[in-house]
Amino acid sequence: MNEIGSEFWLSSLPNGSLEGSPKWINSWGNNVLTSSGRGAISLLLEHIKEEVLYKSALLPSYICESVITPFIKQGYTCYFYGINQDLSPKKESLNIYVKSKIGIFLHMGYFGFPTNNNIIKQITQFKDKGTIIVEDLTHTLFSKYNRFNENDYYVASLRKWAGLLTGGFLASKTNIFNRTLSEHSAFFNYRKEALIMKGEYIKSNNEDLKEKYLAMFKAGEIILNKDNNPYVIDGLSRTIIQKLNIKNLILKRRQNFSLLSALNNIPGVRSVFSKLPNDICPFFFPVYVEKGREILRNTLIDNKVYCPVHWPTPPQIQLAKLISKNDVVLVDCGYPNFLSFLEDEMKSKGIDPNSLTKVLITHHDDDHMGALYEIKEKYPHIKVVSSEIESEYISGKRKSLRLLQAEEILKVMPEEQKQFGIEFCETLRKVKPVNVDIMVKDGDNFDWAGGCQVISTPGHMPGHISLFLTKTNSIVTGDAAVIENGELVIANPQFTLDLNLAENSLEKIISMNADNYYCYHGGKLVRSATR
């Protein structure tokens, strides 16, 4: 039997070409079909730039990174409200922000269920203050329950529901969108080849095809992650969604949900939703696992059931906080404008941001040191720590190696991709330098977290460092390793400056046989999961 995985596939291409939006999308109001959900958010932010009162957004804390990124890239300060175990918004968390200057409030129902139906009072309060109300429909697109009349806009990703090359939309009951969007040809082409090749793999079970289509999917996502500009849905995907049999889609999702209810019979496993009402089209079958999550996950994978984690904490805040008698140390600090995000995360863990004494930067990429300038500006007592090599780039004494790389790539980019390359270079140029106070080297020891040793892990960047926590036998990897499919691998090989050094560094930290690996991208990996 073939490994199905998380992506759809195409066994054939539809005949004909259809224009416009299908009735089930038109029911949400005037709309624009975009290439992705994050593209729909980017288009929304562009559309309301003259209308929004404050450049701030209040988002649920349980959320995909791809929803956050467009706000950050367009200069919004992001705040996050809490989510309860039943996936309903924490009213007490929302009440904190009701009196704040919030430009956009985004809410959503999770996994097909109206988990957000308890906050009408708070939504009304935000609305009365001029806050723009946005509902993310991605999970609840085909569930039929009443939505808030206070909603101004709807956004959604469509690629999670069908075998689409591209797909998302922005809609409004009252507003009309006049902007003409171009196609995202590079993303479209990778997705098309991947979906077709996966269809061939499903038919043939040719393992060579599997590696190729996975690489293409990954390449497409890399392009999408780097370019959040709004693009139009491609013609092929537009035709596919026009021809979707919605009744069959809903029926199949409900049948799958009922079958997966058998998971409740496994000790230590509890479904988030015990019942499936008639008006609900489930997105997934989410479960809580009290213990042995990786064992359950691997068992399901062995039985051809794909079980993703939705969602790990966004990588920008997948940060280690190392505490000792004298120090509270933050490892890396995310993109520019992430200070509020970091403060909220620390407060949620019972850590006063004012108690922070040091920020250790593993390397100078913008998603690792972007918020450093803001941190130093607000908390000038905090000391910045890095390797000597990286200090040259963090302080601005030498030009960012990532920027140099991007400028070289820009020279050979196809014309249709150059605008993205130009914008990416400009994003890197905007990262503000900060002087490094303390320089560390391989083998240096500190009392952080009960005992901590600096590990030199060059490759991704020449002065990259990781941390070995001796008391818990754990390693904070930075970008020396990421987690993919339950394994430690090299982070973004195409952006790794010295692949040989990166491979050596990866071997080095794996050979240390740590019990836990804390990766900036991917979260936490326990050693039992790798054995």
- The reply to whether 171 falls in a domain is yes
Domains identified in the chain, total number: 3
Residue 319: what pLDDT?
Answer: 47
Residue 467: what pLDDT?
Answer: 95
- The reply to whether 249 falls in a domain is no
- The reply to whether 309 falls in a domain is no
Per the model's pLDDT, the better-predicted residue between 115 and 14 turns out to be 115
- The reply to whether 310 falls in a domain is no
The pair of three-digit structure tokens given for residue 477, joined into one six-digit string:
């990897």
pLDDT in tens, 173-230: 998 898 889 888 888 888 888 888 888 888 888 878 888 888 888 888 788 877 778 9
Residue 1: what pLDDT?
Answer: 53
Average pLDDT on 484-512 reads: 88
| Domain that includes residue 466, residue range | 315-529
pLDDT in tens, 261-278: 888 888 888 899 989 999
Give the DSSP H or E segment for 452: strand 452-456
Per the model's pLDDT, the better-predicted residue between 448 and 307 turns out to be 448
- Are residues 109 and 148 located together in one domain of the fold? yes
d(CA 302, CA 304): 6
Q: In which band, very low, low, confident or very high, does the pLDDT at 326 lie, cut at 50, 70 and 90? A: confident
The pair of three-digit structure tokens given for residue 231, joined into one six-digit string:
């693009």
Residue 529: what pLDDT?
Answer: 41
Average pLDDT on 310-328 reads: 62
- The reply to whether 500 falls in a domain is yes
Per the model's pLDDT, the better-predicted residue between 509 and 346 turns out to be 509
- The yes-or-no verdict on residue 52 having pLDDT over 90 is yes
- The reply to whether 342 falls in a domain is yes
Q: Is 31 in contact with 25 (CB distance < 8 Å)? A: yes
pLDDT in tens, 91-121: 887 887 887 889 999 999 999 999 999 999 9
Closest CA to 195 of 157, 225, 167, 232: 167
Instruction: Kindly report the length of the chain.
Output: 531
- Are residues 286 and 166 located together in one domain of the fold? no
- Are residues 47 and 114 located together in one domain of the fold? yes
- Are residues 287 and 359 located together in one domain of the fold? no
pTM higher than the cut 0.75: no
- At which of 244, 268, 285 does a domain end? 244
515 DSSP 8-state letter? S
CATH number of 128's domain:
3.40.640.10
- Are residues 229 and 359 located together in one domain of the fold? no
- Are residues 125 and 273 located together in one domain of the fold? no
Q: In which band, very low, low, confident or very high, does the pLDDT at 530 lie, cut at 50, 70 and 90? A: very low
- Are residues 228 and 298 located together in one domain of the fold? no
- Are residues 26 and 85 located together in one domain of the fold? yes
Residue 111: what pLDDT?
Answer: 96
Residue 308: what pLDDT?
Answer: 67
Q: Which residues fall within 8 angstroms of residue 354, CB to CB, at 6 or more apart? A: 379
- Are residues 217 and 333 located together in one domain of the fold? no
Closest CA to 426 of 67, 42, 65, 75: 75
Q: In which band, very low, low, confident or very high, does the pLDDT at 316 lie, cut at 50, 70 and 90? A: very low
Average pLDDT on 70-98 reads: 85
| CA end-to-end distance (rounded Å), the chain | 24
- The reply to whether 308 falls in a domain is no
Q: Is 267 exposed, middle or buried (0-12, 13-18, 19+ CB in 10 A)?
A: exposed
Average pLDDT on 72-91 reads: 85
- Are residues 390 and 262 located together in one domain of the fold? no
- Are residues 345 and 363 located together in one domain of the fold? yes
- The reply to whether 338 falls in a domain is yes
CATH number of 487's domain:
3.60.15.10
- Are residues 192 and 44 located together in one domain of the fold? yes
